[in-house]
Amino acid sequence: MDINVPQQLVNALWLGGLYSLFALGYALIFSVLGLLNLSHSAVFACGAFVGLYTACGDEVFTTTCTELDRPIWIVIPAAMIGAGIVSVAVDRVAFWPLRKRNAPRMNQLISSIGAAALLVNLLQIQFGAAQQRFPFGSIPNDPVSGLPVVITPIQITALVIALGLMFALRILVKRTRLGREMRTVAFNERVASLLGVNVDRTYMTAFFIAGALAGAAGMMYGLAFNSMTPFMGESVSLKGLTVIVLGGLGSIEGAVIGGFLIAAIEVFSVALGRSDIRDAFVFLLLFVILVVRPRGLLGQGVEDRA
Amino acid sequence: MTTLLQIKELQVSYGAIIALRGISFEVHLGQVVSLIGANGAGKSTTINTLSGLIKPRSGQVNFEDQDITGWRADRVTRRGLVQVPEGRQVIAPLTVRENLEMGAYLRRDKAEIEQDIQAVFDRFPRLKERHHQKAGSLSGGEQQMLALGRALVARPKLVMLDEPSMGLAPLLVNEVFAIIRSIKEEGKTILLVEQNARKALEIADYAYVLERGQIRHHGPADELRQNEAIIKAYLG
Amino acid sequence: MRVAIVIDIINAIFEFIFNVLNGALDPILTQLAEIGFREPVVQFMLINAILGLSIYMTLNCGLFSLANAGFMAVGAYVSVILTQKYDAEFGLSLLGGALAAGLVAIPIGLPVLRLRSVYLAIATIGFGEIVRIVVLNVDTIATDLFNPDEPIELTFGARGISRIPKLTETAHLVFFLILMGYLLYRMQRSRFGRAMTAIRQDEKVATTLGINVVYYKNMAFILGAMIAGVAGGFSGHATRIITPKDYGFDKAVDILAYAVLGGLGHWSGPIIGGMALKAIPERLRYLNEYTGALTGAVLLLIIIYLPSGLVSLGQPSFWRRGGRFEGARRLAGIGVALIVLTNMLPLRNLGSDEVLLGLEYWHLWGLGAGVGLIYWITSRQPASTGGRFSLPMSAVTGLLALGLIIAGLIGRIDQPGDGYYVLVFGLLLATAAGVIPYAPQHTETPPAEQVEGSHA
């Protein structure tokens, strides 16, 4: 079997960028709240639809998008802001009441599932269950010429934006006042509040950032495949989970590396002709990692999460 | 003397269990006031209620003539009442320096924050040596120093210390109290909650003795040190 | 010869039991069908209840495992293949499914149960996905390996197994559930049950008590897997077709929701939760596209407002928590919420003409807001003298409820719908809440010993 290795690497690269971006939100919420937010994939889909609506206007409610009202680039900031707001709303509705009461983590997990079901169904009510797409030709989808590999401008954009956001998040968490604040809250809410941190606001900020990252990932996923459905989050939901486990729960660098790794496994197993069992490889890896090294590839134990 | 903090008839209960049965006391500007008492007397409850971590059932807390009863903890801290919590509670995953920066979380004056951090490093050279180390890797004494330093960087109007000597070796206890004394000499107002009554009375200007959620005795610290009942119960 | 007689006797006993059960179930099923729960729905409610029990086995031991959907798949496929390919008897095929699930659980449990909380959850999700993928691909792989000439067809990949004989009867499910309920009830009082409780509360302490933690954890895991396997066998024979995607991540999470929704404090919790999670969407089916959204919202509301699950509704302590005043307040809150809910879009099904006694929807909004306002104004703090919660609210809601009930009885409402019942129920709750008398708030101090034990 001959595989065009450089081409597959390029594919793995931009897809990995999206996976990492999506998983970063998971990781951020896990590190600050110690919580698996299963509504993250619904927020991902919300982002894509907010972007679609911003660019196309009301016609997406009834039919599909036939022409753009606004320039195509607007979809990404719109998706980020929209998904960020949705994510904060999820926190206020599904997590905050439980957190206030110190409810067990398992209840919070279930309430995140309830929130996910609610969001996906609301999307379906608004936009219908059928596939939505941008008009043909509105997305720069022709491969860039003069390169030895096939890559479209939208894929390059996705990779660049993903890398940029990852870098920005890293700086934010490690170097800024907000980052210190989030790490303090993650360590101990009580101590944080005694230092003057408004803990509720910190949570909202974390949820906004996580949502914005998911929104960006969702929008670029929608653009790259030019296809959006309310259920688009399902395909990445488990992958995101796998990515953060692989990288070490709550580790930011881990989520990034895990994302690229999963994408590579996927792309190469498809290229090898075993697309039917590619997911089995992924989950087998997940399983083995958990049993052999539960901290993940880059996890450094509990005291160093963030 | 100006009254900085005034507590009136403070009552706190955990469900059906009443922890504080109406206590009243005052802290004046520049004073070191100590709350002493046995385990379970309500000392930590008092300090946590003042900090806003526990909501009182009734009573009033006035700080600089403003009613701050029932305020959320971060607002109380913003107002200038800073607590150094029991058991040190440094932020383990952050470096020593980042811990101090978190102490200055509410301040925006970068240059002066830097000065204050340097001042803490001058006061505790051992922290300076380890400024890049994770706070969780420090020894117990060093962690207490970091916790004190962190509170000082906040430039509090009133420092509340919750059992600063707890769990420390006797030698370190002396060291910690020497530091508290030096903070006092700089003119800071301190509310000291301490089980080690002897040490607390040595350093305090005025003290209140708590028993079962009520104030049993109070008076200037040197008077209390002469009081028969207190000698018997707490200093004997 | 002797064996055959024994089998005959056992068969006769079972037949007798099922006949009796069928006789008892018939009227109940007819009633349920009247209110919209037809037999297939009831069967799936019962299967859900069994699934709830299977995850209760592990959660009760402190194991946050999401592997049950995978075990359900193993049980379903094995038992269906047994009946379909090998003409096994239904009972035997269920047993086969359960044993297969249990056998798979042994090698999975040993390495995985060392993990804690989220890690265990994720590892078991991974296991579930692997099962799904294996079932999906076992045909092609087996063909490649053993018999390249003639394709092996066992699970039929993504198409699934179809034309399954419909062998599951409601009586079987009821019998199995009663049996399991009884066994779990006994188990909770046995050495085994106490050991599990100890492990759930603190594993380290349990070890120091001499409890073999690894053994009990694995036992719980295997038993849970076997129960899930039986549920799989029942569900396989309740539908005509099974496919791998019926047992994916969504199912795993659903099963967890049964347990948490119903409540983990008591073994009946997961049963109630499992049935409720089938019944709620079924009852709301007529809302079409709103069904999913409303089910999600209901799940959220329950998890937020009933932190110990639906079973806590049946515990007097839930209503008494915080005294009568708080209890009345809670009742009134639920009542007002229901009145307001009547006005919400999907529940406006008041009568067949969708207009109730000439009331338009905005009238109902006004009603909800009005009752809410009276509630808000009159129920602030308990008076030191004691008294009744809110007589004005009771007067308003009581009269309204009475009027609606009379209108319903004399036939002024044409085919009352869900909205009508919810509205009347909400009004009645608010009425009851308003007349509850409460004693003056007691301020006496507890004895000194208690204070000493307090945390300060």
Identify whether B197 is part of a domain.
yes
Rounded (10°) angle between helices C117-146 and C68-86? 30
A186, A188, A190 member nearest B53 (Cβ): A190
Together in a domain, C285 and C354: no
The nearest CA of chain C is from the CA of A26 a distance in Å of 13
**CA B80, chain centre distance (Å):** 13
Instruction: Look at A121 and C126 and tell me if their CB atoms are within 8 Å.
Output: no
- Among C283, C307, C331, the domain-final residue is C307
B16, B39, B44 member nearest C446 (Cβ): B16
Secondary element (H or E) of residue B17: strand B17-28
| HSE-up of residue C381 (Cα within 13 Å, Cβ side) | 4
Partner chains of B (3+ C-beta pairs under 8 Å): A, C
| Cβ-based contacts of B17 with chain C (< 8 Å) | 446, 450-451, 453-454
A187 touches chain B (CB under 8 A): yes
Query: What sign does the dihedral B68-B71-B77-B83 (CA atoms) show?
Result: positive
Identify whether C342 is part of a domain.
yes
Once rounded to an integer, what is the mean pLDDT over residues C216-244? 92
Q: Render B52-120 in DSSP notation, one character per residue.
A: TSS--SEEEEEETTEE-TT--HHHHHHHTEEEE-TT----TTSBHHHHHHHHTTT---HHHHHHHHHHH
Instruction: Look at C453 and B17 and tell me if their CB atoms are within 8 Å.
Output: yes
* Best CA proximity match to B76, nearest among B54, B95, B45: B54
Looking at residue C444, its pLDDT comes to 42
Identify whether C74 is part of a domain.
yes
A105, A110, A291 member nearest C111 (Cβ): A291
Together in a domain, C343 and C302: no
Looking at residue C456, its pLDDT comes to 32
Q: Is pLDDT at C77 greater than 90 in this prediction? A: yes
Instruction: Look at A93 and C297 and tell me if their CB atoms are within 8 Å.
Output: no
Q: How confident is the model at residue B137 (pLDDT cuts 50, 70, 90)?
A: very high
DSSP designation for C66: -
In the numeric block, which tokens belong to residue B183?
A: 């903070």
Together in a domain, C154 and C287: yes
Instruction: Look at C130 and A283 and tell me if their CB atoms are within 8 Å.
Output: yes
Looking at residue C358, its pLDDT comes to 54
Q: Is pLDDT at A117 greater than 90 in this prediction? A: no
Q: What is the mean pLDDT of chain A?
A: 86
Partner chains of A (3+ C-beta pairs under 8 Å): B, C
Instruction: Look at B92 and A187 and tell me if their CB atoms are within 8 Å.
Output: yes
- For the stretch B41-50, pLDDT in tens is 889 999 999 9
Q: Picking from A186-195, B58-67, C94-103, C413-422, which range would have the lowest pLDDT averaged per residue?
A: C413-422
Instruction: Look at B77 and A187 and tell me if their CB atoms are within 8 Å.
Output: no
Q: How confident is the model at residue C357 (pLDDT cuts 50, 70, 90)?
A: low
Residue C310's alpha-carbon distances to A294, B110, C299, in angstroms, are 34, 53, 11
Domain assignment of residue C239, given as a range: 36-307
Together in a domain, C228 and C363: no
A301 touches chain B (CB under 8 A): no
How many independent structural domains does chain B possess? 1
Together in a domain, C345 and C299: no
Q: Please, is C358 exposed, middle or buried when counting C-beta atoms within 10 Å of its C-beta (0-12, 13-18, 19+)?
A: exposed
Identify whether B221 is part of a domain.
yes
**CA C203, chain centre distance (Å):** 28
| Cβ-based contacts of C381 with chain B (< 8 Å) | none
* Best CA proximity match to B165, nearest among B152, B154, B155, B175: B175
Contact C335, C430 (CB under 8 A): yes
A191, A198, A199 member nearest B91 (Cβ): A191
Together in a domain, C302 and C325: no
The nearest CA of chain A is from the CA of C206 a distance in Å of 21
Rounded Cα gap, residues B28 and B158, in angstroms = 10
**Going by C-beta distance under 8 Å and a sequence separation of 6 or more, which residues neighbour residue A144?**
A151, A152, A153, A156
| Cβ-based contacts of A194 with chain B (< 8 Å) | 51, 53, 73, 77, 82-83, 85
- Among C282, C307, C332, the domain-final residue is C307
Instruction: Look at A197 and B82 and tell me if their CB atoms are within 8 Å.
Output: no
- Chain C, nearest residue to A116 by Cα: C296
Count the neighbouring beta carbons within 10 Å of the beta carbon of residue C417: 18
Instruction: Look at C448 and B212 and tell me if their CB atoms are within 8 Å.
Output: yes
Looking at residue C455, its pLDDT comes to 37
* Best CA proximity match to A96, nearest among A87, C288, C251, C223: A87
Instruction: Look at A286 and C123 and tell me if their CB atoms are within 8 Å.
Output: yes
A178 touches chain B (CB under 8 A): no
Rounded Cα gap, residues C109 and C219, in angstroms = 9
Which of A267-271, A274-278, C19-23, C97-101 holds the top average pLDDT? C97-101
- Chain C, nearest residue to A102 by Cα: C307
Once rounded to an integer, what is the mean pLDDT over residues B143-162? 93
The nearest CA of chain B is from the CA of C103 a distance in Å of 43
Instruction: Look at A36 and C121 and tell me if their CB atoms are within 8 Å.
Output: yes
- Chain A, nearest residue to B77 by Cα: A196
How many independent structural domains does chain C possess? 2
Looking at residue C379, its pLDDT comes to 66
C455 touches chain B (CB under 8 A): yes
The nearest CA of chain B is from the CA of C443 a distance in Å of 10
Together in a domain, C143 and C278: yes
Identify whether B96 is part of a domain.
no
DSSP designation for C417: -
The nearest CA of chain C is from the CA of A112 a distance in Å of 8
Long-range contacts (CB closer than 8 Å, 24 or more residues apart) made by A9-12? A9/A264, A10/A149, A10/A150, A10/A151, A11/A263, A11/A267, A12/A260, A12/A263, A12/A264, A12/A266, A12/A267, A12/A268
A138 touches chain B (CB under 8 A): no
Together in a domain, C241 and C323: no
Per the DSSP assignment, residues forming a β-bridge with B207 are B34, B219
* Best CA proximity match to C68, nearest among C310, C259, C216, C202: C259
Residue A51 vs residue C188, higher pLDDT? A51
Pick among C59, C63, C117, C133 to test the A interface (most A CBs inside 10 A): C133
Together in a domain, C328 and C226: no
Secondary element (H or E) of residue B18: strand B17-28
The nearest CA of chain C is from the CA of A115 a distance in Å of 6
Q: How confident is the model at residue C423 (pLDDT cuts 50, 70, 90)?
A: confident
| Cβ-based contacts of B44 with chain C (< 8 Å) | 456
Looking at residue C381, its pLDDT comes to 59
Q: Is pLDDT at A139 greater than 90 in this prediction? A: no
Identify whether B187 is part of a domain.
yes
Per the DSSP assignment, residues forming a β-bridge with B219 are B207
Pick among A276, A289, A292 to test the C interface (most C CBs inside 10 A): A276
Rounded Cα gap, residues B34 and B173, in angstroms = 16
Q: Is pLDDT at C424 greater than 90 in this prediction? A: no
DSSP designation for C415: S
Q: Is pLDDT at A101 greater than 70 in this prediction? A: yes
Residue C305 vs residue C217, higher pLDDT? C217
DSSP designation for C155: S
Q: How confident is the model at residue B25 (pLDDT cuts 50, 70, 90)?
A: very high
Identify whether B112 is part of a domain.
no
Residues 36-95 of B with CB under 8 A from C: 39-45
The nearest CA of chain B is from the CA of A303 a distance in Å of 6
CATH number at residue C62: 1.10.3470
**Going by C-beta distance under 8 Å and a sequence separation of 6 or more, which residues neighbour residue B104?**
B113, B116, B117, B153, B154
Contact A267, A219 (CB under 8 A): no
C136, C137, C300 member nearest A114 (Cβ): C300
**Going by C-beta distance under 8 Å and a sequence separation of 6 or more, which residues neighbour residue C200?**
C60, C61, C62
- Give me the percent of chain C exceeding a pLDDT of 70: 86
Instruction: Look at C446 and B18 and tell me if their CB atoms are within 8 Å.
Output: yes
3-state helix, strand, coil in chain B (%, to 5): 40, 30, 30
- For the stretch B77-100, pLDDT in tens is 999 999 999 887 899 999 999 999
| Cβ-based contacts of C448 with chain B (< 8 Å) | 212
CATH number at residue B184: 3.40.50.300
Q: How confident is the model at residue A299 (pLDDT cuts 50, 70, 90)?
A: low
Identify whether B72 is part of a domain.
yes
B21 touches chain C (CB under 8 A): yes
Q: Is pLDDT at C454 greater than 60 in this prediction? A: no
- Among C270, C287, C307, the domain-final residue is C307
A184 touches chain B (CB under 8 A): yes
Domain assignment of residue B33, given as a range: 3-87+158-235
* Best CA proximity match to A296, nearest among C140, A288, A50: A288
Residues in chain A: 306
Together in a domain, C329 and C348: yes
Quickly list H helices, C386-417: 391-409
The nearest CA of chain B is from the CA of C449 a distance in Å of 10
Contact A19, A236 (CB under 8 A): yes
Together in a domain, C122 and C269: yes
- For the stretch C265-313, pLDDT in tens is 788 888 999 998 888 888 777 766 777 777 788 888 888 878 788 888 8
Which residue is it, tokens 């897997």? C225
Together in a domain, C296 and C327: no
The nearest CA of chain C is from the CA of A48 a distance in Å of 19
Furthest C-alpha separation in chain A: 63
Here the ipTM equals 0.90
DSSP designation for C152: -
**CA A290, chain centre distance (Å):** 22
- Give me the percent of chain B exceeding a pLDDT of 70: 99
Identify whether C455 is part of a domain.
no
